[in-house]
Structure 1
């Protein structure tokens, strides 16, 4: 009972990742990395942990002279294997299951490296791999949270609600405007830190794909493509590609001393029920990582365009905040840097729209006055 309560608490913590936060400090694509992806990875990790706790992760059947518990423990610790040549033989006639065939007479010793043997070593480490992946996906967020330093939250001053007295609202708007005026052109490094976190998020997705490809002996890169081809073809004529990576039934060889002191070989057939869950998790992750990688790549291109194109910055501010006059936006963008644009954009996402409009117009007036431009912008 205490264990089940702990599991419920863990699933509750995963649910908190989907909680809508009041303050947005980053982009939606960036949140997909440290919220949605981390939640999926932790959910898979906890699902496998619960299934392992509630039932045996492996079931082996051997000769009667070997204790079943000893055999299953040995096969779980020392891995299982499949015969490579047995994957393409006729099921139910030549072999009982893809990958299972007689290994005697080929010099195969079960757990030793051999060209005819495909060893399955990963299943002990899947839970730890998922946990490690979740940590990697949260790392860019952890870095940005430290580098951001609560700047956006501090500058908001509860102006996102807008339900305060006029005197208090005027004071807070003046404080925000004074900060923006005095620190204009000093936010580039702050913004570049966030862009760096987005680059790290993209590199992390690419690295995770190659990590899993290494983890699954080079079978992960084309895994999703093979699954789609299998679903589109006549499935009776082809072996499910998931069986190559996540076999449900494998072989195990156990050696022990016999009565006469000779070494006896005992072949066992093992069922891996966890692989039914593993394959579903990693099929989803293959497609999810592909989509996430593409979206993040285009986000990086979008950031590059923003850095080198002031006109794009003007267009994006006008598109997102229509209450702000165009001439005010052009004045601010022309006399500030990309870091200031990023801060103003994030403030606009979080602040009350009317208050944000007033701050932008007053900031544009100050900039125009300093530049010697006659006439001030009128509030809409």
Structure 2
């Protein structure tokens, strides 16, 4: 019988003519079910007398057959923003970081082999750091669209979370949005709760059977939905996980907006960002030189570079970039210096 119920649509009886648009009647249905359970007149929530020709409303449950497929499909959809970013970013940062992975250990004049890893020599380290400085100055390695692509993927990730919540809510008959909050508010000890409404463990089904004379007989059967014991816990955890991802996505967009506004305006903000990646104190003038001139894409790429290389190596790169900017700015003032020297000669 349970096998028959699994492959056919089961149903429960809400006992009152309640609809999703009528909250008062939904509450009445819950109270009535609880009262009947307490008095022993109801075997399980949503399971009770129902005639074949009855006009009493019922709630059909057919989603449980599709739960594994829907969860698998949603898991694949979560890979879309990640794969999109890998495609747009082109692994630029990874290729650059791989050459600097063991640069902090470069203490010898020759390259050292340690297992499968190679520690570059001092000269190779200096060449690679100089290469990073030159690429940053020329603006060849990172174009202006790099940050725009990153922000686009972050917005897509935020929209994707909303779409996943909407898909799950539609799949569970519009009851997913209040699932976690109701469980949190009422706890798991109530006799009738939202988990019994969305994931009933005991349901009803009508079994058709031929009688001795060949006519069809209708048998009112009670079915045990064992999988719903797992499904209710899965989707309760999914509800809290989606809320966590939604909050993280919102905070990520707010942080991205703050960095875009302050990256070239606040010296204190940049000192806070880069001081965590550079051992010791940073020269405020050099911080100002590095963060005031480049575009937001260059600044953001420098931030991500600081998170993926050794702090000592990044500080050397940061100081080198600051020196490059100082040299460029000093080359623009020779004529003014000559004129000033003539005045006071």
Quick check: TM above 0.5?
yes
Q: Deviations over 1:36-84 (max 9, x none)?
A: xxxxxxxxxxxxxxxxxxxxxxxx3xxxxxxxxxxx4432222211001
Check 1:175–1:322 CA distance in 2 against 1; reply closer, same or farther (3 A cut): closer
The answer (yes or no) to whether the contact 1:190–1:339 under 8 Å persists in 2 is: yes
1:157 Cα offset (Å): 3.9
Q: What does residue 223 of structure 1 align with? A: 179
User: Separation in 2 of the partners of 1:74 and 1:274?
Assistant: 15
Aligned residues between the structures: 296
For residues 241 and 290 of structure 1, the distance between their equivalents in structure 2, rounded to whole angstroms, comes to 18
Is residue 2:93 matched to residue 1:137?
no
Instruction: Please report how far the alpha carbon of residue 358 of structure 1 lies from its aligned counterpart in structure 2 after TM superposition.
Output: 1.4
Alpha-carbon offset, residue 294 of structure 1: 0.9
Judge which range, 155-164 or 268-277, deviates more. 155-164
Q: Is the Cα contact below 8 Å between 1:331 and 1:364 reproduced in 2?
A: yes
Match of 1:171 in 2: 127
* Bigger Cα Rg: 2
Aligned counterparts of 1:167 and 1:319: Cα–Cα separation in 2 = 27
Q: In the aligned structure 1, how far is the partner of 2:292 from the partner of 2:199?
A: 57
Bigger RCO (CA 8 Å, 6+ sep): 1
Write the distance in 2 (CA, Å) between the matches of 1:319 and 1:118.
60
Structure 2 residue matching 1:350: 3-state secondary structure: coil
The alignment partner of 2:76 has SS state of helix
2:160 corresponding residue in structure 1: 204
Any unmatched runs of 5+ in structure 2? 16-28, 107-120, 334-345
Q: Does 1:94 align with 2:41?
A: yes
After the TM superposition, which of the residue ranges 130-139 and 149-158 deviates more from structure 2?
A: 149-158
User: Cα–Cα, structure 1 residues 175 and 325, in superposed 2: closer, same or farther, change >3 Å?
Assistant: same
Q: 1:157 to 1:262 in 2, by over 3 A?
A: closer
CA distance in 2, matches of 1:120, 1:259: 32
**Partner Cα distance (1:274, 1:80) in 2:** 13
Q: Aligned runs of 1:101-250 on 2, under 5 Å?
A: 101-104=48-51, 107=54, 116-161=57-102, 162-164=104-106, 165-183=121-139, 186-231=142-187, 235=189, 238-250=191-203
User: What TM-score comes out, normalization by structure 2 length?
Assistant: 0.79
Q: Given that residues 271 and 284 in structure 2 are in contact (C-alpha distance below 8 angstroms), is that contact kept between their aligned partners in structure 1?
A: no
